[in-house]
Amino acid sequence: MSLLESLRAVFLGRGRSLADAAERERLADVEAPEAKLRAALGDADRDPLGAIALGRPALDPDSDPLLAGIESLAGSHLWATGSSGAGKSAAILAWQLAALEAGVLVPNPTVSLTVADAKGEAGPWLTDLMLPALLSEKSENEARQTLEHVHVVRPFDAASLPEMNILVPQPGTALGLQAKECSGFVSETLGPGLGTLGARMQVIVLYLFMLGIDAKLSLLEVKSLLVNRNYLDGILRFCTVPEVTEYFVHRFPSESKESLNGVASRLDALLLVPGPARVLCAPTCLDFQDCLRPGLFVFDYGDPPRGAEGQLFFWARVILSALTRAAMSRPMRPVPCPAFFCLDEYQTGLDDLLAAFLERLLSQARFRRVALWLINQNTAQISSKHPALVATLLNSTAMQVAFRQNPADAAALSPMLPTSGPDAWIPTSVGAPAWSVRPASPSEYRSRMVEETVSLPDRTFWFAYRKKGVQAVKLTSPTVEFDDARRAADAAPQWLRDTCRGLGKGRSPQELDDVLARRRAHIGLVAAGQADRACPDFTDRVAVEIRRTAPSVSATATEPPPPPTAATES
């Protein structure tokens, strides 16, 4: 206890109470919070995978930064919030760059980093700026080897489109479950004016997708099932699920025209935009297990075409569900590498389905060495859509980061703030002289920290490490020198800059246009009763050729129904 604190205690007649063992223990616990946090983070210098500099103590900016070992962070979820302009995005980028330099941009990568960017900011920062700047220091051979472990997926890219046919059968996933998941993607995510799927429309979509998955179709063919009875009859000949056949033979004809039109309008909202239509009608689907292998995987879906903003919500659902499925099916032997999922503005399109994905990841992914880094501006973005998720985030994240907040959001985050500190003194009464003070109660001190959070300077944040029971410490985030990075990127060889900008994994629009043309031809032939011609043609000319020239990112192939045999003809 300092001399000033002792004198204050004497003036107040509280020397005995402050000498009480419990009070002394409470104050001792916060006299050196930075030291306790350093001890909780462990010896990062000995971490075999390297370390991330979280920041420096705000009260002692000249001290050494607090380091967290990457190995020790495996499975420790992080939640970061902060108002726009408070420095949150730059801090997260600095931590991502530290993980990249330590475990990804090396000859033998040991860390998996996946960045899902719904804001259209982190993806370009990494691919257009930071990667050229970092790789410009390597030889051309080393840089090319490193880029083999970097994958970028842009559903709205004009030059390189990923193959993400959501109706490709997923290994280990039951047909009904996959169909239900896919039907959830289209129920409420396609923008204003369409509304929520009614009960009958949900049944129609579910069975349409079950038939589409069973027959290995795409959304283009599924839409034709709705409007072309001859095509539906032709595909039903190959259906292997009696329940699905029974529905379309006996119940589907009685569905109302309004329900059918409502389903068709949602599929049109996806298929009328050329880029996503090509992506969703591709012959294959990306294998999201790649996101758990050492390397960098970027999903940049934050820049949808004008007029198709609702598709951002659709892709948010598709990507998060696929990441959840990949994480939950990750084998634990041999011990996998640490994997970090950085989900920026993850509340985009948040509803019960997305919240369920997040809650499942938060509760189970850490046991598979998968850590979530969840980034959004404030708690109101979450509570307005799914109030219970805020409590889940507070209880399930080991690391919590709070930059400057508005008063309501700062109050919502109060459980992470400290309850005592060396400055835990408040006036004895309103208008009392400066020397008339008393120790603040935990609730009073926390209320003062809430007020302080509202006015935190840029780049200053609270960091709470709940895993070790250490109360929040105020830190200053690392600095990302964007000007230096721009100069280094501009000075990088032209081949490196072009390669980093063109990292999108997928196929050219021309290739996928050819797939669409052959799918349309396939629909016409099946509808005309010529399935024996349609299916072999489609298989030989599209699926086989695509597999022969498949992209480096592993994919799951889909084929159309097999040609009918003599038995089926009869």
Q: CB-based burial of residue 139 (10 Å sphere; 0-12 exposed, 13-18 middle, 19+ buried)?
A: exposed
Residues present in the chain in total: 570
Confidence of residue 531 (pLDDT cuts 50, 70, 90): low
Tell me what pLDDT residue 175 has.
Answer: 92
Q: How far is CA 402 from CA 78, 80, 419, 453, 554, in A?
A: 11, 6, 16, 8, 38
Lowest pLDDT segment from 14-23, 280-289, 324-333: 14-23
Tell me what pLDDT residue 518 has.
Answer: 86
- Taking only the tens place, the pLDDT of each residue in 228-239 is 999 999 999 889
Tell me what pLDDT residue 24 has.
Answer: 46
Rounded Cα distance between 562 and 570, Å, is 16
Average pLDDT over residues 464-477: 86
- Taking only the tens place, the pLDDT of each residue in 147-159 is 989 988 888 887 7
Average pLDDT over residues 446-460: 91
Residue 373 backbone phi and psi in degrees, to 5: -115, 105
Check whether 408 has a pLDDT greater than 70: yes
Rounded Cα distance between 459 and 88, Å, is 7
Average pLDDT over residues 486-509: 84
Tell me what pLDDT residue 356 has.
Answer: 85
Tell me what pLDDT residue 509 has.
Answer: 85
Rg of the chain in Å (alpha carbons)? 28
Q: Which residue has the higher pLDDT, 401 or 24?
A: 401
Q: How far is CA 192 from the centre of its chain?
A: 24
Q: How far is CA 342 from the centre of its chain?
A: 5
Residues 6+ apart with CB under 8 A from 35: none
Check whether 23 has a pLDDT greater than 70: no
Tell me what pLDDT residue 564 has.
Answer: 40
pTM value is 0.82
Tell me what pLDDT residue 527 has.
Answer: 83
For the ranges 14-18, 44-48, 194-198, 262-266, the maximum mean pLDDT occurs at 262-266
Tell me what pLDDT residue 558 has.
Answer: 43
For the ranges 96-100, 259-263, 521-525, the maximum mean pLDDT occurs at 96-100
Tell me what pLDDT residue 40 has.
Answer: 81
Lowest pLDDT segment from 105-119, 131-145, 255-269, 542-556: 542-556
The mean pLDDT value of the chain amounts to 80
Check whether 47 has a pLDDT greater than 80: no
Confidence of residue 544 (pLDDT cuts 50, 70, 90): very low
Average pLDDT over residues 484-495: 90
Tell me what pLDDT residue 432 has.
Answer: 63
Q: Which residue has the higher pLDDT, 145 or 501?
A: 145
Q: Which residue has the higher pLDDT, 549 or 65?
A: 65
Residue 198: how many CB atoms within 10 A of its CB? 15
Rounded Cα distance between 197 and 182, Å, is 13
Confidence of residue 39 (pLDDT cuts 50, 70, 90): confident
Tell me what pLDDT residue 436 has.
Answer: 63
Residue 287 DSSP label = -
Average pLDDT over residues 188-213: 76
Rounded Cα distance between 286 and 297, Å, is 12
Average pLDDT over residues 503-509: 76
